[in-house]
A and B are shown apart, each in its own frame.
Chain A
Amino acid sequence: MSAMLLKKEKWPDFVGKLTGKKVWAPQGEGEEMRFAPVNEGEAPDLAYGNTRVPPKQAVFPQTETMFRFQVDGKEIEEPQLDQETVLLGVRPCDARSMAIVDKLFGWDEDDPYYFKRRELVTLVGLACSEPGINCFCTSVGGGPAATEGLDLLMTDLGEDYLLEAVTEKGELLLKEAGDILEEAGDDRYKEKEKLAEAAAQKIKRSVDHEGIPEGLPGLWEDPLWQRVSASCLGCGTCTFLCPTCHCFDIQDEVEGFAARRCRMWDSCMFNEYSLHTSGHNPRPSRRERTRNRINHKYSYYVDKFDVIACVGCGRCINLCPVNIDIVEILRQVKEAL
């Protein structure tokens, strides 16, 4: 795969070349809220930490219409998905989360909604130079310049961006950009390696997960779960802002005779998530729900797909209203093993 150099003053030209594709980038005032469509002719500013809501919504929207129908009819109408989208400035952790979630959506049957969107999306990443205070990607298999899940990786080299294609889609973008790019010499590549190394050094938090995936089931009744969940409010902040959380619910919404079936993000931290029709709830309190959240990410997923379903983006720690800190929970798990 090839690597090219883009002068920063040519960044608007690069964005301008993405004709026919919808461009998404971090949008919001002050603190970037989420990835959202960029107005045509605008070049998004990439000086940001990370979005509060991860870009998973580009492939797994919070609300997805599966089909529309009439209550008294037999026909269904499926929405057409054909809009190619380019996401600019995706952080390596968030791209990696998509590679991880791919395994779930492609597990027994390929999920058509997810993979259709995945196919239509091109992920242009931006390597991190200033990791956030709660980042711990390097502990869980990622890194500030990791490429897994990305199509193209950009690295800020001061005056220029280094553009490295990761997949065919990425190659294509480089080809389309054409003569606004310059060849990148070996020295620039080395510069990038150095920056990535320096960024990794800045990551202060870490998780020692050795033995945790196998050990977690044995801690089922451990008092630690009561301890770490006592202050939990049972809200969906940690799961909705998690790039790898992928649980959904499917519901029909009816207005008059017009109806649609849609699926929407669900959260295992909600009471009704595991509520049975009978009224029985196998996870009746926040203790069991918290235990499930940790087990799912650090044990069940590893068991099934051989990878931890946590990319260390730190969002759940940053935004938990009551300072429930997954790094701290895992430290206590490790201690209890």
Chain B
Amino acid sequence: MDLDKLRETAAEVAAREDVKYLIGWKKGSYGYRVAPGFVEEAEGAAGLIFSPLCTANLATYLTLVEKLPLPRGQEPDKRKVALMVKGCDSRAVAQLLVEKGIHRDEVVVIGCPCPGMVDPDLLGEKYPETEEPAEVKWSDDGFIIVRDGEETAVPRDELLAEKCRLCRYPNPVISDIMLGDPVDTWDPAEDEGVSEVEDKDVDGRWAYWQEQFSNCIRCYSCRNVCPLCYCQDCILDRLNPTWVNRSVNFSENTAFNIARAFHLAGRCIECGECERVCPANIPLGKLNRKLAREVRDKYGFEPGLDPEAEPFQASFKPDDPEDFIL
């Protein structure tokens, strides 16, 4: 991707009168880190980047903004939010449009065709995090790591993030402005992670998830980072009645994790953010991808592709086979 073009476009968009701010990615505070960048003035666009480290799905910020009561007489700021999206991120925007979580005239979508992100854990294992600025770039057939003033070429398969191996939509599915040409798509890998869990018997699956959910500390980073977990009144925060106790143990942790997975069935766009941010390393992607697989296989439905689609969980067809109902 041409960074000059990206910054030039971002500066133009940020300067637009109908745009409140633009959200993109910028260099983080040290090492490989990348942080979300909020650009209000054209000058701020100079710090924006797009690299294999821009894993964060910025679509979550569309619904994360607190709508505070305004002082009497003050009009709400109705300007648009501009957002840079990869393929997976754009699906979150499309799904939000389907659900009317946002409206089309509230956003300016800047599409970034994505050749695939690196897995930050794999990267850190092989090329440890450093306090000096470091970066990763795309090459024709892989990645180039720039660290300690040295460039190291690494084959794509060595560091490609799992969600990107499985990715079917690297090019943004909706956008107002597209940066660069679409990338060539690749054959998505078989989702062995999900298959492995499916192949276990009931006891095996129970034992597997028991071990995983026992580690949960209920920080809710998975919920908060998720662009599609945006209920104003989440059942997890409810105290009267209490649907899920705040106490942290296997039972409550399981209730929380299963509730979230179910609520995302037919809605999860597989951006992998939940798994990336989990401080307890719970393989949440497997859980959500399992439900996505079920919805795909049983209903032939994939969320976040068509902003005009009927929401999966709110649709009914008389000719549904319903062969799972006993």
Contacts and interface: CB of A to CB of B under 8 A. Distances in A.
Interface string B8-37: 000000000000000000001111011110
B326 to A, nearest CB: 30
B59 interface: no
B131 A205 contact: yes
Interface in A210-256: 230-231, 233-237, 240-241, 249, 251, 253
Interface string A249-288: 1010100000000101101001110000000000011100
B246 A133 contact: no
A53 interface: yes
B279 A241 contact: yes
Contacts, number: 107
A280 to B, nearest CB: 10
A64 to B, nearest CB: 9
Given A230-B38, A327-B29, A319 B66 contact: no
Say what secondary structure dominates the interface of chain A.
loop
B60 interface: yes
Nearest to A317: B29
A284 B66 contact: yes
B277 A323 contact: no
A233 B64 CA distance: 7
Contacts of B254: none
Say what secondary structure dominates the interface of chain B.
loop
Contact of A233 (B130, B224, B247): B224
Interface in B94-134: 129-131
A237 B221 contact: yes
A271 B221 CA distance: 13
A323 B34 CA distance: 7
B68 A235 contact: no
Interface string B232-276: 000001010010011111000000000000000000000001001
Contacts of B248: 62-63, 264-265
Interface of A: 31, 33, 52-53, 62-63, 133-134, 204-205, 230-231, 233-237, 240-241, 249, 251, 253, 262, 264-265, 267, 270-272, 284-286, 317, 319, 321-325, 327-328
